[in-house]
Structure 1
Amino acid sequence: MSENPDHTEHGNAAIARSGEILRTEVGSGLHGIAIAGTDDHDEMGVFIEPPECAVGLRGPMNHYVWRTQPEGHRSSHGDTDLVMYSLRKFLKLAIAGNPTILLPLFAPEASVYTATDLGAELRDLAPAFLSQRAVERFVGYLDGQTDRLLNRGQGSMPNRPELVEQYGYDVKYASHALRLGLQGLEIAEHARLTLPMPDADRQRVLHVKSGGVAELDTVLAEIASIRARIVALLESGATALPAEPDTDRISAWSIDAHRRHWHSHHGF
């Protein structure tokens, strides 16, 4: 992927690639809501840092980024955006319930591009990350997308004025908010995250994303209704989710995973 001299690249590619344990599709394609001819291709990976970065004095390498487009240019159809996180950084973000970070843990096998034995073990840990805290993060991200949709807050102006001109509102922001609500509700109700989205939910999000809902107020009302259902589940204690992720289990596995990787790759 380094043939285009105008691409964007941050971080040490050699460290990220040599330590890679997991890489999957993320983004609209994974959710099942990509629209042919319009969406780019997103991937996320996880790598284990060498000892000199994790425990030595070289300093941590938290992530590596590669994008088809040059810095400051928006990705478009046919472009690839790849972000790779060190295992330590990935686990911190996943424990916090970051909706995007959780995706590689639940991606179907067809969307998994690389999975070493350690990568497979990480995916097996997926249920340990789901918690009420994660659901709260989904609600927070939903609110953020809604604020951008409504131009609320500093720096929240739509970056897709062509969609506003065509449909009357930014249908991508609206579809993202709706998707986050539906996925947060699924986690709260069933302690799972289905990818791609269940068909009825997927079709509803696609309907909004493709401009099929003319009135913004209609979309906002649905988003608000789903959000209220999530909050009610959390506040009533009706969800089976634990309050927090199983950090002890995740941390113990991380320590062991680093030891095994360093032993096999660095002779430690």
Structure 2
Amino acid sequence: MIRHPHAGEDARRLAEAGTVLLTQVGSGVHGTAIDGQDDRDELGLCLEPVEFVTGLARVRTPGGREIAFEQYELHTAWSRSRGLAEPSGPGDLDVVVYSARKWARLAVAGNPTVLLPLWVPDTEVVRVTAAGRELRAQAERFASRTAGRRFLGYLRSQRDAFAARRTRARAASRDGGAAYDAKRATHALRLGLQGLELLRSGRVTLPVPAPELAELRQVRRGEWDRRHVEAWIAELEADLAAAVEVADLPEQADRAWVDAWLTRSHQEFWAAR
């Protein structure tokens, strides 16, 4: 039995009933997925019934505890013999649906992954309601220098993991140079490119545009020499750090608009129920 606290049946029903936006995220939507090597990631947000927002209602976990609802998770890898210890692999599905309130907190703080549903192409939208369409139409309200700093922080985290080889190397350079973790490297580079675009234009294009996408896919396949990968990461990090300071964007997301959207969307959801 899956004992993850956010995988309970109560959480699933609540998430499914209130989902306003669910999209593909991850390498599939960035354009960096390699056929047969990646899982599918989906991320969304849902509105909660009134008793969960203004009252004391809770959801029951698979272990029998009652907790406040914040998100629902589904990971098909958990159905295999190792359960929660089983990592996702090729062909697996990973779904996370946040409460709209938690999603909004993460989004206004500039979390790069949480922001992705605002920009994915229509073809990558799994489910959307009028409230979700309004959110996507107002995506520019989440663009901020704070978000740029979060992209920079995520880049540095991936860079450090890549440099320290904290995970098993997945590729070796074509010319016989030192092996490197191609997936970590691709994440770091992609975050740099997308962070720069956000700071310069107020949005992120998905998948990553050409010609950089072709280069990212080469890195993902381990075709670049490690030294060249490290040099590109360092260049993007420096450019992103500089761009944060001069970007023509507000310091913070439009919290007033987000707050109004949350209030209005919940009220309309409750009235419809």
TM-score, length basis structure 1 = 0.89
Q: 1:243 aligns with which of 251, 259, 271?
A: 251
Q: Which residue of 1 aligns with 2:215?
A: 204
Could you list the per-position Cα deviations for residues 218-253 of structure 1 after superposition, in whole angstroms to 9, with x for gaps in the alignment?
A: 111111111111222222x2x221111111111111
Shift of the alpha carbon at 1:93? Answer: 0.3
| Mapped pair 1:130 → 2:143 | yes
Match of 2:33 in 1: 34
Q: In structure 1, how many angstroms separate the alpha carbons of the residues matched to 2:77 and 2:172?
A: 24
User: 1:7–1:67: 8 Å Cα contact kept in structure 2?
Assistant: no
Equivalent residue for 1:63? 71
Residues 122-178 of structure 1 show CA distances to partners (whole Å, capped at 9, x for unaligned) of 111211001000000000000000111122xxxx721x3454799701010000000
Residue 84 of structure 1 is aligned with which of 72, 91, 97? Answer: 97
Supply the distance in 2 between the matched residues of 1:73 and 1:164 (Cα, whole angstroms): 25
Taking the TM superposition and a 5 Å limit, the aligned residue runs for 1:1-268 are 10-11=7-8, 12-59=11-58, 60-70=68-78, 71-151=84-164, 157-158=166-167, 160-163=168-171, 168-214=179-225, 216-235=226-245, 237=246, 239-265=247-273
The amino acid that maps onto 2:163 is L
1:125–1:250 CA contact under 8 A, matched in 2 = no
Alignment coverage as a number of residue pairs: 253
The whole-number CA distance in structure 1 between the counterparts of 2:3 and 2:116 is 25
Cα displacement (A) at 1:86: 0.4
Q: Which moved more, 1:225-234 or 1:63-72?
A: 225-234
1:217 deviates by 2.1
User: 2:173, 2:224 within 8 Å by CA — same for their partners in 1?
Assistant: no
Q: Which runs of 5+ in 1 are unaligned?
A: none
Cα distance in 1 for residues equivalent to 2:180 and 2:265: 46
1:32 CA displacement: 0.9
Q: Deviations over 1:21-41 (max 9, x none)?
A: 111000001101111111111
Asked if the contact 2:156/2:237 (under 8 Å) is kept, the reply is no
Work out whether residues 129 and 245 of structure 1, in 8 Å CA contact, stay in contact via their aligned partners in 2. Answer: yes
Asked whether the equivalents of residues 170 and 182 of structure 2 are also in contact (C-alpha less than 8 Å), the reply is no
Displaced runs of 4 or more, over 2 A: 5-9, 160-167
Deviations 1:172-231 (A, max 9, x none): 0000000000000111122220011112121121111110102x2211111111111122
Give the Cα–Cα distance (whole angstroms) in 1 for the partners of residues 112 and 15 of structure 2.
22
Q: How many angstroms apart in 1 are the aligned matches of 2:237 and 2:199?
A: 11
In 1, the alpha carbon distance for the partners of 2:213 and 2:131 equals 31
C-alpha separation between the residues in 2 aligned to 1:84 and 1:140?
Answer: 24
Q: Which consecutive unaligned segments of at least 5 residues does structure 2 have?
A: 59-67, 79-83
Aligned-residue CA RMSD in angstroms? 1.9
**Cα gap change, 1:188 to 1:231, in 2 (>3 Å):** same
SS in 2 for 1:14: helix
Give the counterpart letter for 2:32 in structure 1: I
